[in-house]
Structure 1
Amino acid sequence: MTFHPYLTCLQPYPFEKLRQLFSGVTPNSAYQAISLGIGEPKHPTPALIEDALRNNLAGLASYPLTAGSEALRRSIANWIARRYDIPAPDFATEILPVNGSREALFALAQTVVNPAACKDGKPLIMCPNPFYQIYEGAAYLSGAEPYFVNADPARNFAPDYSQVPEHIWQRVQLLFVCSPGNPTGAVLQLHDWKELFELSDRYGFVIAADECYSEIYFKTDAPLGAMQAARQLGRDYQRLISLSSLSKRSNVPGMRSGFVAGDAAIMKQFLLYRTYHGSAMSPMIQAASVVAWDDEIHVQENRDKYRQKFAQITPMLEQVLDVQLPDAAFYLWAKVDHLQGISDTEFARQLYERYHVTVLPGSYLAREAHGINPGANRIRMALVADVAECLEAAQRIVAFCHELKGQ
């Protein structure tokens, strides 16, 4: 029996590595388990979305169109216009609903990567480092290779693209951007987008902007979006694709509902690919998605919960960890090696053993590139549970850090 040859390139997911790290460890039974490891929203699903699901069960009797309903595409286009203060994209040619941004990120690479067009080895898909592991899998299974550009703490964790050699840019066919970033929470600014657009113009690669954390932010101004940046710079959406999701915005990860928007020429080919891929969204999910995209009250309430949570917990952890409030998203990205030189993996293992709190080692979210693993000696904490549980976790982490300092 034979399998796809590039499957051997895929690494275990970070949570499988974490399971192996904790293998054989018995956590302290004096504490209830608290996990800050997985970025899965835990706030309640809004009632208006649950009601919409219950009220549209009749849609299960019909095969859905891959392109989605006109009502959903119009709803998404109108949301983009309101959220980013730009003209609404053409719902007929510039919008596609998808079953969550994760599957669309993967499928997009299958659509835009052309191995035959690269004369000097395999084509490259450029990724930030640390990164969402789907980017890497999408690269390998599209016949490309990932090329990692390390996040620079001195640049608010933005990758320094000026360090990328000319011969690398000539092989890049797709560039993944994550803003707000996972795990850093950093948001790209207009000058960052200007640089990326100019590079795309010069070398002809597609930009895929992963913006699934765009609605969880802590400052007055909402994060700048890719399509918004293009408009502010007087551009159209050529070679630009934006992806977003209801999962974090509306606390419905189980709905698997998102969208892809941008370059109409790419969208046309992406729709063709998806027609064969069999990835149409359920009619009841589409109906509930319209309700979700059309309402901002539940989004503001959700954002307020995160703001209150981070306002309480960040100062506590700042006393013992090298950490600060991020621009956006629901993660804290903390440096830990000042604590007796402990590694991120050992920090996570000992914290789990002594205090039954799970955090994710930063090295699991990155790859060694250009001589370093930029996630090493950092941990990611997902503050997705309610305030009381997150406060309890923070108190245990503070106690654990004091123990380490006393060793």
Structure 2
Amino acid sequence: MLINERLDRLGENPFTRLNALLAPITPRANERPVLLSVGEPQHAPPAFLAETITANGDLWNRYPPVTGTDEYRLAVTQWLTRRYRLKPGALDPARHALILCGTKEGLYLATQLAVPQVETGRKPVVLLPNPFYLVYRGAAAMAGAEIQPMPATRATGFLPDFDAIPPATLERTSLAFLCSPANPQGAVAGLDYLKRAILLAREYDFILVVDECYSEIWDKAPPVGALEACQALGDGFANVLVFHSLSKRSNAAGLRCGFVTGDEKLLARFQTFRSFGAAQVPMPLQAGAAALWREETHVEANRALYRSKFDIAERILGGRHGFYRPQGGFFLWLEVGDSEAAARRLWQEAAIKALPGNYIGVPDESGHNPGDGFLRVALVHDDATLTGALERLAQVL
């Protein structure tokens, strides 16, 4: 019964809501439908991924280690050290890297691990940016936590303001989510911002979960990371878990292979927790994933393709609908007035699906949903498809 009660708190999946919203509508446009609603990479992964998996085909009959293979953990810690300019030896592959069957699984399980039934004698709190990736809310609801949304609006630089959370709420907080670059706004947390969030987590003894899955899709400069902030503070990785994925970086969403790093004590408990029920990544896939983490040329090429999409969007939408060029990620966060009405018009008149912003947000204490009035538009298609779709979108809006 408890599980069913918590399921009732989840709310409807935003894509289920979108499909229901558009189901009665038959597009009038004679154009091919284009889905700009889902952030699914459309670029091809590098050819060596399939070659590496095939070359390791003799491992399909082996049970994968719950921690990930030694090769995989070494590859990710070496990548983290290079990418975030960490001191040699700061990360131990055996203690600071745990493989995940996609970070969606990891984000959910980390919340179940972190949230107790009672925090300081009262119901525990999970902080999440608002708008948010749907797993943050779902994980918090299924853990039985009180959800405390943190508005991430233009006024806050599209990042949550941790300093606005009352101390009484922070004392009950078990876990806080942060996404940088942010989904959907593309804002990037700076080093000082991350240091402040980490210090707050340590002061009030909650876990700061930093979702950096879009870290390698950036426009002008590589985003700093939470591990860099920990290094700058000089106190190790306590109270911090950082999640990374190959889905966006390497266009390998179907590989279902990511990892979590950070606080070694938390990772040890996480490893034990996963060993009882989480899916493991087959060893040939781990070999392919390790090869992806070791190679950067394909990532640079991928980033260049996304920059081209930013250029297209800026040319077509610049100066309209609150357009700004995101610092990272591959979404536009457009101001359109009535989000649902705009989504219906786009589907009916242009055969384009875009996600109403209020579907990935919740009302705050004043009743305002910070996603109201916005559309999330995913820039994932090839240049020709995207150009035609954005031209139709601009014409309709």
Pairs aligned (count): 394
Q: Where do 5+ consecutive residues of structure 1 fail to align? A: 338-342, 402-407
CA contact under 8 A between 2:119 and 2:174: conserved in structure 1?
no
Where does residue 381 of structure 1 map in the other structure?
377
* Per-residue CA distance 1:292-346 (angstroms, 9 max, x = gap): 0000000000000000111122231124321110110000111112xxxxx0110
2:386 to 385, 390, 393: 390
Cα distance in structure 2, aligned partners of 1:75 and 1:395: 42
Q: Secondary structure at the match of 2:118?
A: helix
**One-letter amino acid matched to 1:254:** G
Cα distance in structure 1, aligned partners of 2:250 and 2:391: 28
CA contact under 8 A between 1:152 and 1:160: conserved in structure 2?
no
CA contact under 8 A between 2:339 and 2:374: conserved in structure 1?
yes
After TM superposition, list the pairs within 5 Å mapping 1:133-144 onto structure 2. 133-144=134-145
Cα distance change of structure 1 residues 93 and 2 upon mapping to structure 2, 3 Å threshold = closer
| Moved segments of 4+, more than 6 Å | none
Moved more, 364-373 or 209-218: 364-373
**One-letter amino acid matched to 1:168:** T
State the shift of 1:29 in Å: 4.3
Cα distance in structure 2, aligned partners of 1:193 and 1:293: 24
Where does residue 62 of structure 2 map in the other structure?
62
CA contact under 8 A between 2:191 and 2:225: conserved in structure 1?
no
Cα distance in structure 1, aligned partners of 2:137 and 2:156: 23
**One-letter amino acid matched to 2:350:** Y
CA RMSD after TM alignment: 1.3
CA contact under 8 A between 2:127 and 2:150: conserved in structure 1?
yes
Where does residue 353 of structure 2 map in the other structure?
358
Cα distance in structure 2, aligned partners of 1:326 and 1:117: 37
1:348 to 343, 346, 360: 343
* Per-residue CA distance 1:217-263 (angstroms, 9 max, x = gap): 000x2001011111123231001110000000000100011000010
Where does residue 121 of structure 2 map in the other structure?
119
Cα distance change of structure 1 residues 144 and 3 upon mapping to structure 2, 3 Å threshold = closer
TM-score for both structures, normalised by structure 2: 0.97
Moved more, 108-117 or 178-187: 108-117
* Per-residue CA distance 1:69-109 (angstroms, 9 max, x = gap): 10100000000001111035110011101011100000001
Q: Where do 5+ consecutive residues of structure 2 fail to align? A: none
TM-score for both structures, normalised by structure 1: 0.94
Q: Secondary structure at the match of 1:175?
A: strand
CA contact under 8 A between 1:344 and 1:377: conserved in structure 2?
yes
After TM superposition, list the pairs within 5 Å mapping 1:8-407 onto structure 2. 8-87=8-87, 88-120=90-122, 122-219=123-220, 221-337=221-337, 343-371=338-366, 372-401=368-397
Cα distance in structure 1, aligned partners of 2:303 and 2:66: 32
**One-letter amino acid matched to 1:293:** W
